[in-house]
Structures are given as structure tokens and as C-alpha cells.
Amino acid sequence: MGAFAFAPAQQATGTPGVVRRAREGDFAAFEELYRRNVGRVYGICLRLTADPAVAEELTQQAFVRAWRKLGSFRGDVEFPAWLGRLAVNVVLGERRQRNRRRERAFDDDAAAAEPETRAEPHEALDLERAIAALPDRARAVFVLHDVEGYHHEEIGRALGIASGTSKAQLHRARRLLREALR
Amino acid sequence: MRENHPTETRLHDLVDGLLEPADREALERHLDACAACRSSADELRSLLHRAQGLGPLRPDRDLLPGIRARIDRRRAFPRWLVAAAAAAFLVGAVWFGSRGGVENDSGGTPATPSRLVEAFMAAEVEYEEANRALFDTLTARRNGRLSPETWAVVERNVEIIDEAIAEVRRALRSGAGDPADGHLLTALHQKKMQLLWRASRLSAERGV
């Protein structure tokens, strides 16, 4: 199965009863939550990292962290949304840890110096592959904004950049994607 | 009319709903009259629509067994014990590697660099996980317990150690490294663990 194999359509996820049982330590309930949400979590991890092996590792970390933090889930948002945010935090936390120095260098000037795209210019790419071929920062901003629905202020805080930089990176990502998909 | 073409940023703002009503209406009037700009806006809307419609993706393998193993390990052992075990494992791997690993029938073989490197690399996985757990704990409870200055010192030192680890790791993986590099790698991981450990203890003491 390829890295971009689509999961089956999801049923309604995170019903309160299953979440409650998982919070009480019922691993079978947690497994049910895993089955229902692994596609969403892996999707976030893969789109943000563009690396299937890393995405698998981070997906596992996200679920382990979810297990630990279930007690803090209050139900004021849907469980998949809570889990999705947690997954994003895991990916970005890992990214910060591994690329701390590089992350700090990612201001407007450094971003402008990134290679325009790793995609073959005339290759027909579907959207997933085109996203994977984006430069790291542009990809992260595009996935968080256009796929996951984050605002620029939130992205700025998460990535340690100005919201204006987030916006510029989003426009750049869209431009590169349009070119790649033509 | 060329001078009235909207900038790319304005087209993005339009599809993102960020324009003021009057500005939006003016731009839409332009799009009605300009096929090129209309095409650009349509392309952006289409891209946004497709992005919002991206569905879940399925990993190639079932990740649940790995998740369960990690959860079980955390249930069985407190984090400090996991970290200590990782340290012991790494030290053991180093000792084992430096003695040549498994001896053969001819009476023992010296450690080959590649064998030693493999031992270091395998042990590193455990060590990294333990350090990550310590870092996560520290990050989760640092608010109000560590001053920004202290936290900055911790971060800066972690960063320096990570840089050094990355350099040694590169040397080992390239085949240019020798056993001494492996020992250096061990020392760096231990240093990082000590740093995180101390910061974690300091944070815990201040939180009491």
C-alpha cells in the first residue's frame, strides 16, 4: 500500500462513551478510538513531514501521548479535533527538537532562500504528491491552514514565525501547487 | 485596464474571505471583466476546495502494537526508570561492542567498526526516546516553574548537545568514525540526560 493510500470513509468518531471508557483505562476502547482516527492522525503526520517512516513514528507518539492526556480531554471540542491538534503538536514538537537551529533561521529572508520546489516541473502530480514536494516551511503552513483550518496567528505561534510570514508562505505554497498541478 | 489587475495577495485574500466588503465587490467586478484574473481566482478556489477535501490516509502497517508496547512500558515503569534503563542499555552496548560483541569459535574477534557503530545506533534509539520523554515532561510543566532565562539556558544547551550528537552520528554513519566516536556519542547522550534531569528536578521542586 502506497504512502498515500486513502483510508475508508470514517464513521462518526470519538463518541463520548468510547472516550469515557478509554479515559478510565479501557484499552479496548482506546483501540476503538485508534481504529477510527488513525487515518486522520497519520494523514496529518504524513502531510506535515512528507516522510512515511517518520509519519508512522509520530503517529505512534501521538497516540501514546493521547493515552496519557485523555484525562485532560474535557469534551468541549470533538475528539477527532482534539486528537488532530495533539498530533500537530507532536509533529511540530519533534520538528523543533530536531531542527532547532534551522527553525530559528526560518525568517523571511531564510525562507526566501529556500529552493523553490523539489517537484519535477512538468511532472503530473496529484495534490498529495505535490504537497509532499513543497519546501518544508511552505508545506507546513499550507497543511495547517488550508487542510487543517488553522489561522495564521495560530500557525505563527506553532512554528515560531510572524503571522505575516505564515501568510507569505501560504501564498508561496499555493503558487507552487498550482504550477505543479497544471 | 492592466494597471487595475489585482495583486496575487489580493486574490488570495479574496478566496480566504479576508477582504472588506467594498474591496471584495470591487475585485469581483474586475473578475467579471477580466478572464485571466477570473481564471486565477477560480484556480485558487479549486485548490482550496481540494485541500479542504483531503481525507484520512492509511499507514502501510498497523501501528497499534507499537503504541500498545509503549503504553505498557510506561505503565510498568516510571519515566525515570525508563531513562535509567536506556542509559544502562547504552553503556552496556558500548561495553559489549568494545569487547568485540559475540565471540566466534576461533577464540574471539575484535570489534569491527561497523559492528560497534550498529551497537551504538541501536542503543541510541532507546536513549533518544528516554530523553524525549524527559524533555516532554519538562516542557509540559515548565510554565511558571522555570524562569524564561533558565529555560533559555536549558534550550541553548540542549541545542548545543544535539548539534554535537548530529555531527558524531554523521561521522559514524559515513564510516569515517571509530569506536572513540561511539564513546563520545554515549557521553553526549549522558550529558543531555543529566541536563534534562536536573532541569526536571528543579522544575519539580519549584512546583511543590
Residue pLDDT, tens place only, B12-42: 999 999 999 999 999 999 999 999 999 999 9
d(CA A109, CA B17): 28
A68 and chain B: CB distance < 8 Å anywhere? yes
Position B206 scores a pLDDT of 66
Instruction: Select from A7, A67, A171 the Cβ nearest to the Cβ of B9.
Output: A171
Position A123 scores a pLDDT of 36
Using the predicted structure, report yes or no on whether residue B102 has a pLDDT greater than 50. no
Please judge whether A31 and B64 are an interchain contact, meaning their C-beta atoms are less than 8 angstroms apart: yes
d(CA B123, CA B156): 25
Using the predicted structure, report yes or no on whether residue A104 has a pLDDT greater than 50. no
Position A74 scores a pLDDT of 84
Using the predicted structure, report yes or no on whether residue B192 has a pLDDT greater than 80. yes
Mean pLDDT, rounded, for B85-114 = 50
Using the predicted structure, report yes or no on whether residue A163 has a pLDDT greater than 90. yes
Tell me the pTM. 0.61
pLDDT category at B46 given cuts 50, 70, 90 is very high
Q: For residues A177 and A120, is the Cβ–Cβ distance under 8 A?
A: no
Phi then psi dihedrals of residue A6, to 5 deg:
-85, 140
Report which of B102, B86, B120, B43 is spatially closest to residue B190, judged by C-alpha positions.
Answer: B86
- Cα B54 vs. chain centroid, distance in angstroms? 25
Please judge whether B56 and A6 are an interchain contact, meaning their C-beta atoms are less than 8 angstroms apart: yes
Looking at every residue in chain B, the average pLDDT score rounds to: 75
Q: How far is A116 from chain B (nearest CA, A)?
A: 17
CA distances from A85 to A92, A95, A137, B56 (A): 11, 15, 18, 15
Phi then psi dihedrals of residue B6, to 5 deg:
-70, 155
| Chain A residues with beta carbon closer than 8 angstroms to that of B56 | 6-7, 10, 38-40, 42-43
Using the predicted structure, report yes or no on whether residue A24 has a pLDDT greater than 60. yes
CA distances from A122 to A116, A142, B203 (A): 14, 22, 54
Mean pLDDT, rounded, for B135-149 = 70
Residue pLDDT, tens place only, A106-139: 444 444 444 444 434 333 358 999 999 999 999 9
A9 and chain B: CB distance < 8 Å anywhere? yes
Query: What's the complex ipTM?
Result: 0.77
Position B178 scores a pLDDT of 64
Ranges A51-55, B61-65, B103-107, B203-207: which has the least confidence: B103-107
pLDDT category at B112 given cuts 50, 70, 90 is low
Report which of B64, B62, B68, B5 is spatially closest to residue B39, judged by C-alpha positions.
Answer: B5
Cα angle vertex A40, ends A85, A125, to 5°? Answer: 115
